[in-house]
């Protein structure tokens, strides 16, 4: 399993919106870095919202709790037991 797949699965496990997960993995795949706005909007939770959701979070139109669904039960986790997250590992 490559790191893109792992990040996608982790995002789904944490209940992150698919638009945000997709944007994050596309950024990673292209060798990019999250913007300061995204990092700020994620409030150091490890979650990096897509630009559209980042803007809504920063302007107070939505909260992180509005955006992040309940995580799935641990039993649906992949066989990979590493504690990956959407946060950059460096």
Site residues (vs Zn ion, CB under 5 A): 17, 19-20, 50, 53
Enter the tokens of residue 38.
């995204």
Instruction: Considering the complex, state which of residue 19 and residue 58 has its C-beta at the smaller distance from Zn ion.
Output: 19
Nearer Cβ to Zn ion, position 44 or 79? 44
**Residue 6 or 22 with smaller CB distance to Zn ion:** 22
Residue 86 beta carbon to Zn ion: minimum distance, rounded to whole angstroms: 12
Cβ-proximal residues to 13 (8 Å cutoff; 6+ apart), any chain: 71, 72, 76, 77
The answer to whether 76 and 82 are in contact (CB under 8 A) is no
What's the min distance (Å) between Cβ of 17 and Zn ion? 4
DSSP, res 71? P
Q: How far is the CB of 69 from Zn ion (least distance, A)?
A: 12
């Amino acid at each position: 399993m490559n790191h893109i797949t792992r990040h996608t699965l982790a995002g789904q496990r944490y209940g992150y919106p698919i638009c945000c997960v997709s944007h994050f993995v596309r950024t990673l795949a292209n060798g990019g870095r999250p913007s300061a706005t995204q990092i700020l909007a994620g409030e150091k939770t490890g979650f990096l919202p897509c630009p559209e959701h980042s803007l809504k979070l920063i302007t107070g139109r939505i909260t992180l709790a509005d955006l992040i669904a309940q995580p799935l039960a641990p039993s649906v986790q992949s066989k990979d037991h590493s504690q990956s997250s959407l946060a950059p590992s460096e």
